[in-house]
Structure 1
Amino acid sequence: MKIGHYTYQPGARGGIASYVRRLGNAQADIGHDVEYLCRNGEGSDLPSVREVNGDVDLFETAQQRRLDVLHLHRRIRHLPEHRVPTVRTMHGNQGSCPSGSRFLKRSGRPCNRDYSVSGCLWGHLIDHCGSRRPGNVVNNFRRIETEHELAAKIPTATVSRFVKERMIRSGCMPDHLKVIHSPAPDLNRPPAPLQHKDPPRMLFAGRIEPKKGVEWLLRSLPKTDVPVFLDVAGTGDIAYMQKVKALVEDLGLTGRITFHGWVEEADVYRLIEQARAVVVPSLWHEPAGLVTLEAAAVGRPVIASQVGGISEYARDPFALQVSPGDVDELAECIDRLALDPERAASMGQQARAIARDRFSMDDFVSNIMDLYRSTVTTANGLMRR
């Protein structure tokens, strides 16, 4: 099958770009012809990367390249009637939230509001869940209308049940929505044994911004019985980084926190191996939270916030779940693993098995290919009518 993946920048670090690369590489490994269509081809060492300029160019290029299926990983505004068979993956909350954030910045809490014009307008203007600039607000509401229109026309894979259910509650018809959980990375090597030495290290890996809960995590550390060390792999904007580092000093944590900045994928796995557990303290409704599966693949337990789709990935028996924003509860969970390395090691072994058995790349690719084949079959049937 000749497959085209459309994303903004396939060579970008982390997030959707990593998902697309892993999927495309796995499809190529089993004999499919994979191409990448994008708006920005910088930084990519992938074969067959082609830049396109907008939706019209995208679909014309897909036809010129004689793609069997076009897989969208980013928003489009216009869907032509005559096109190659097209599917998409909904990676975020854009199908149920005009701003896509599902985070109330003013209060620092996840947004549980169902979509409505009045409620979400209040969210933008009062709760600061999105931009308050009139033009941006209008564009956000237009975007969710487009997402609903697309959901009615093309098969859409959601990365969690949470994303699917929220889309349905926001007004999307369920007919074309299918949950396909993201896969754990296949490291093709046994993980290093969990270290029992003290003091134990915990790891946060992700972008450093308010909704990721780094401040919540930092405030929990002085409340632990064990003086754990924390590795922070990621970066954010300069002003917020300064705020976070000032908080470290105010809490008396200098010397216990190491900021690594942006870390390449191989080094992330090295940091996970050094950790007693990976902490995912998100304060927004994350659609998936892939770092939980990266931890599982390396055989490390997870402490994660009960938000969004994270609970579908960070699950018993390898994860401890925490109420978002609860400092004492998070400190208690950190202590449970810091004080009991045998339990952490056992949870890590179960994590490895779950990553292999429930979130395998083979099963993931098989589910995606089934979606492609059903889409192509339906498209061919419509053409014969």
Structure 2
Amino acid sequence: MSQDIFDEKLIYHCSGFEINGSGGAETYLTSLINHQLPGVSDRVLKSLQNVDQSQFKLVHIHSPDLLLGITGKCPVVFTVHNHSTYCPSGTKYLAGQGVVCERNFSYLGCTWGKVVDGCGSRRPQRAVKEFLHSQQVLNILNNLKITVVANSNYVREQLIKNGVSSEKIITLRCGTSVPPIGTKPLSLEIHQNHRILFVGRIVPDKGLEWLLKTLVHTNPRIHLDIAGEGWDKLRLEKLASSLGLNNRITWHGWCEADKLNTLYQQCFAVIFPSVWPEPAGLVTLEAYARYRPVIASAVGGIPEHLRDRETGILVPANDIKKLADAITELDTDYQKSRQIGEQGHAFLMKELTMDVHVKHLQEIYEKIIYDFSI
């Protein structure tokens, strides 16, 4: 890579994530790049190998593996978007037991997790590679001058538990872009269509199985729209059929932005039933941007983005009765559904838009660049 590409003193993002807005960290990073911060390159670097990093004003890393290329010749920010920094399997969730993993990273504990609890891959070579990677990343965070940005206090606490100094960590909640096309508060007409929406990858951790089993215990007029794809889709389609739900569900697959916006607009509530500890949960913010109340599981960083009974309803993970009660409550009370949706939108506009996020991020950049120079 020729060094003249970096002849300007700019801030560069460095990430293995694709810039296509397809969900989670990719959606966040896409929004961040599209926001065009002053002094920040619109080019996202995929690697730092063989690059003179002294040319950078600052490098902002979004993927833990890219920390291995840091030379210490420029200020560095590392945003922790998921659990892979301190969890070799990347989930902090023991799917076989259906519980959140409470262990900190260690070779003994994580080996037990893989062999006994069935956590992630149990192939020896892959497991060893994952262990070494987590250890390397944690060592780098402890030994180099890097500012760590956690996207929730839950993630911050996990980093501290795994040995990262609290003085290095800043919590900065993700922001989201408000849709460019007009969105409206929930209308009575839409509420009476009795549609709810699930948005996300169709994998066990996202809790769609729990939602399908819950749907049976709600009014038959409630229809579930599912926007997403994933390797567990075939099994869950069979489950839905066995539960007699075929005429109450529409599987939309992966949806482009316009289609997804339409689905948000035609529902009276968004269901976010993750059973693993979501680091933050951008679906919540996307629902707020469209004036829709959120019913979500109280796991990970979700409770930090959802104010119970104000911007949505929190329920214990895998609790069918409480999830059914929450769906029924909003389905039968238009005024409450509309009010919660409006309060969610107000919360977003005050604290969780990309404009607000970028303002705080710029302040972080300025401080780190100043501290590096003295």
For normalisation by structure 1, the TM-score amounts to 0.88
Deviation at 1:17, TM superposition (A): 2.1
Native 8 Å contact 2:31 2:176 kept in 1:
no
Quote the Cα distance in structure 1 between the aligned partners of 2:233 and 2:11.
40
Q: Which residue of 2 aligns with 1:281?
A: 273
Matching residue's letter, 1:143:
H
Distance 1:279 1:36 in 2: 35
Superposition pairs of residues 49-64 of structure 1, within 5 angstroms = 52=47, 55-57=48-50, 59-60=51-52, 62-63=53-54
The 1-side partners of 2:139 and 2:106 are apart by 16
Match of 1:133 among 99, 123, 126: 123
Counterpart of 1:205 in structure 2 is 199
1:218-242 CA-to-partner distances (Å, cap 9, x unmatched) read: 00011114531000000012xx211
Q: Of 89, 95, 105, which residue of structure 1 is paired with 2:79?
A: 89
Tell me how far apart the structure 2 counterparts of residues 193 and 369 of structure 1 sit (CA, whole Å).
Answer: 32
Counterparts of residues 233-272 of structure 1 (less than 5 Å): 233-237=227-231, 240-272=232-264
Distance 2:167 2:207 in 1: 35
Whether 2:24 is the aligned partner of 1:34: answer: no
Query: What is the number of residues matched between the two proteins?
Result: 359
Structure 2 contact 13–44 (Cα < 8 Å) conserved? yes
Name the CA distance, whole Å, in 2 between partners of 1:319 and 1:336: 11
How far does residue 142 in structure 1 lie from its aligned partner after superposition?
A: 1.4
Q: Specify whether residues 146 and 72 from structure 1 end up closer, same or farther in structure 2 by C-alpha distance, changes over 3 A only.
A: same
Structure 2 counterpart of 1:357, one-letter code: K
Residue matched to 1:166: 158
Residue aligning to 1:369: 362
State the shift of 1:201 in Å. 0.5
**Separation in structure 1 between the aligned mates of residue 136 and residue 226 of structure 2, nearest angstrom:** 37
Alpha-carbon distance in 2 for matches of 1:343, 1:20: 33
Letter in 1 for 2:348: A
Distance 1:345 1:241 in 2: 32
Q: CA offset at residue 114 of structure 1?
A: 3.3
Query: Structure 1: which amino acid aligns with 2:284?
Result: T
Paired residue for 1:78? 68
- Give unpaired runs (5+ residues) of structure 1: 40-51
Q: Is the counterpart of residue 11 in structure 1 residue 14 in structure 2?
A: no
Please name the residue that 1:309 is paired with. Answer: 301
SS in 2 for 1:27: coil
Percentage of identical aligned residues: 33
Tell me the TM-score normalized by structure 2. 0.91
Distance of 1:190 and 1:273 partners within structure 2:
10
Which deviates the most, 312-321 or 141-150? 141-150
Partner of 1:217: 211
CA drift at 1:38: 3.7
**Aligned partner (choices 315, 331, 343) of residue 338 of structure 1:** 331
Would you say the 8 A contact 1:206–1:235 is kept in 2?
yes
- Following TM superposition, by how much is the alpha carbon of 1:189 offset from its aligned partner in structure 2, in angstroms? 5.3
Q: Deviations over 1:120-167 (max 9, x none)?
A: 221111222211011111122212212212322200101000000011
The one-letter code of the counterpart of 2:151 is: V
CA deviation string 1:148-188 (max 9, x = no partner): 12322200101000000011112221121100000132235
Q: Which residue of 2 aligns with 1:176?
A: 168
CA-to-partner distance for each residue in 1:291-335, whole Å, 9 max, x for gaps? 000000110000001111111112231110010111111111110
Q: Which runs of 5 or more residues in structure 2 are unaligned?
A: 1-8
Is the 8 Å Cα contact of residues 97 and 144 (structure 1) preserved in structure 2?
A: yes
SS for the counterpart of 1:279 is strand
| 360-369 or 347-356: bigger deviation | 360-369
Q: Give me the whole-angstrom Cα distance separating, in 1, the residues matched to 2:250 and 2:58.
A: 45
In the TM superposition, what is the alpha-carbon distance from 1:9 to its structure 2 partner?
4.2
Shift of 1:281: 0.4
Q: What is the Cα deviation at residue 290 of structure 1?
A: 0.2
Counterpart CA distance in 1 for 2:319 and 2:70 is 48
- The match for 1:121 is 111
3-state SS of the aligned residue for 1:193? coil
Structure 1 range deviating more: 280-289 or 99-108: 99-108
CA–CA separation in structure 2 for the residues paired with 1:374 and 1:79:
23
Equivalents in 2 of 1:193, 1:119: separation in Å?
48
Partner of 1:148: 138
Q: Give the secondary-structure state (helix, strand or coil) at the position aligned to 1:227.
A: coil
Contact 2:274 2:317 in 1 (8 A): yes
| Matched position secondary structure for 1:259 | strand
Question: What residue identity is the alignment partner of 1:32?
Answer: G
Residues 6-43 of structure 1 show CA distances to partners (whole Å, capped at 9, x for unaligned) of: 11243332222221121122233xx334232344xxxx
Cα distance in structure 1, aligned partners of 2:204 and 2:219 = 26
Q: Distance in 2 between matches of 1:124 and 1:11?
A: 32
CA deviations on 1:105-128 (whole Å, 9 max, x unpaired) are: 212332233333332221111222
Verify the 8 A CA contact 1:5 1:20 in the aligned structure 2.
no
